[in-house]
Amino acid sequence: MASELRNSGSYSTLSVSAAGALATALWCAARGWPVHPLAPGRKTPAGNCASCRLPGHSRQGCGCAAAGRWCHGFHAATLDSTRIRQWWGANPGLGVGISCGPAGVVVVDIDAHERHLPGRESLLPGVRIADGIDLTGLANGFHTLGVLAALRGQASPADDDTTLRVRTPSGGLHVWYRARPGHRWQCSTGSGGRALAWQVDIRAHGGYIVAPGTVTEAGVYEAVGAVREPAPLPDWLAGELERTGHLPTAPDLPAPRPVPPRARQAVLAAGGGGSAAHRVLGALLAEVAGCAAVSEGAAFSEKLNRAAYTAGGLVAGGHLLADEAERMLRMAAEDARPGQERRCTAIIRSGLNAGLRRPLALGEHV
Selection from 298, 299, 302, 353 nearest residue 325 by Cα:
353
Per-residue model confidence (pLDDT) at position 10: 33
d(CA 271, CA 120): 55
pLDDT tens profile 33-64: 999 999 888 888 887 777 777 777 777 777 77
d(CA 91, CA 351): 25
Split at pLDDT 50, 70, 90, the class of 146 is very high
Average pLDDT rounded to a whole number, residues 171-190: 87
**pLDDT at residue 363 tops 60:** no
pLDDT tens profile 242-267: 999 998 754 444 444 554 555 545 54
pLDDT tens profile 345-356: 888 988 898 888
Q: Which residue has the higher pLDDT, 277 or 265?
A: 277
d(CA 308, CA 347): 8
| Whether 295 contacts 364, CB under 8 Å | no
Average pLDDT rounded to a whole number, residues 288-311: 78
- 3-state SS string over 106-138? EEEEECCCCCCCCCHHHCCCCCCCCCCCCCCCC
* Distance of alpha carbon 340 from the chain centroid: 18
Question: Can you give the C-alpha Rg of the chain in angstroms?
Answer: 21
d(CA 213, CA 98): 12
**% residues pLDDT > 70 (the chain):** 83
Please list the residues that pair with 78 across neighbouring strands: 35
Burial class (CB in 10 A: 0-12, 13-18, 19+), 199: buried
Q: Which has the minimum average pLDDT: 7-21, 214-228, 251-265?
A: 7-21
Per-residue model confidence (pLDDT) at position 71: 80
Average pLDDT rounded to a whole number, residues 310-335: 86
Q: Which residue has the higher pLDDT, 221 or 129?
A: 221
Split at pLDDT 50, 70, 90, the class of 180 is confident
Helix crossing, 341-356 with 300-316: angle to 10°? 40
Per-residue model confidence (pLDDT) at position 13: 35
DSSP symbol at 78? B
Split at pLDDT 50, 70, 90, the class of 297 is low
**pLDDT at residue 155 tops 90:** yes
Average pLDDT rounded to a whole number, residues 206-216: 91
116 Cβ partners below 8 Å, 6+ apart? none
| Whether 337 contacts 272, CB under 8 Å | no
* Ranges of H-type helices in the chain: 16-30, 81-90, 100-103, 141-151, 235-243, 261-271, 276-290, 300-316, 322-336, 341-356
Q: b/e for 288-300, b at 16 or more Cβ within 10 A?
A: bbbbbbbbbbbbb
| DSSP 3-state of 43 | coil
d(CA 140, CA 115): 8
pTM over 0.75: no
| Whether 79 contacts 342, CB under 8 Å | no
d(CA 177, CA 221): 17
pLDDT tens profile 58-73: 777 777 777 777 887 7
Q: Which residue has the higher pLDDT, 104 or 134?
A: 104
